Structure 1
Amino acid sequence: MLEFFTRLNDHNLPYPDTIHPIIVHFVIAMVLFAFICDVIGYFTSNHRLFEVSWWNMFLATIAIFVAIIFGQFEAGLAKPYALAKSVLSMHTLIGWSLSGIIAAITAWRYVIRLRNPYRLPIAYLGMGLVLAVIVGMQVYLGDQLVWVYGLHTVPVVEAVKDGILR
């Protein structure tokens, strides 16, 4: 059984496909949906949307750390070539930064929720917009790693193993 976990497949992974993108798509969806719920709740005075937003941010805070763990593991197995390294480094830096930003915003949201669950300060919505923009930048970098540089795709993995890409 240990042999199964130590062997790498055609994608240079010990399991069938990348897990990081699966988890990170949940984080992206939860953060953006939380922001949308906050904006709609703010303008319609529908405080139930604030509760939806709170739980989305809470779960996103947990999920981003799981996504980072798998991202770090899979990035190490990717054996990135020179052209992809700068994008991967920036993606990693922003990912770790986002974990702290999301945790801080969620903590702020918790305090807001305790004080008055029926209102949100406009500053919180502004920070939500900033967070949405940072998440958008991170999505762009992640898309580049897969669709432009082909990390963990079979042709790129083979090219790196054969020494064609360095």
Structure 2
Amino acid sequence: MGPADEAGAVAASLAADTLFAQAGVVLPPDDPREVFDHADRVLVAVDGGAVLGLAATLPLDGGVHLEQVAVHPDHGRRGVGSALLEAVCADAAAGSPRVTLTTFRDLPWNGPWYAARGFAVLPPDAWGPGLRALWEQEEPIRVRPRVAMVRPTG
């Protein structure tokens, strides 16, 4: 993500968060720039200069961890999120055995969406120390059941 994309990525992330509120999920306020600052990589989907969505990753436990996928609701259900997810997985395949993530288990655009794209629930006894630490850091957003998921890249 270049500096010119940051404002659009922030706007897309904040707009995507409104879907949670519409589903009755109250998340603590956050600043997407915090995710961008600690991410190893932020991919953006851009059309005509406008950021449609983003995917942020970081290295974790010898693999790639998907920290966030967000698509502006104005561009939802058009394959943007799927394209970003596939780009993350393709990029990870160059040197990582898997992609992990944590997500809300039951929201249709979270757990079930990832499952339909090849991710499976990763049981806690298979977590590495990095994922355990991340899980604990996520305590404030565990307002609904969450799961860790994994997709092998090979």
Q: TM-score, normalised by structure 2?
A: 0.24
Quick check: which has more Rg, 1 or 2?
A: 1
Q: Which protein has greater RCO, CA pairs closer than 8 Å, 6+ apart?
A: 1
Q: TM-score, normalised by structure 1?
A: 0.23
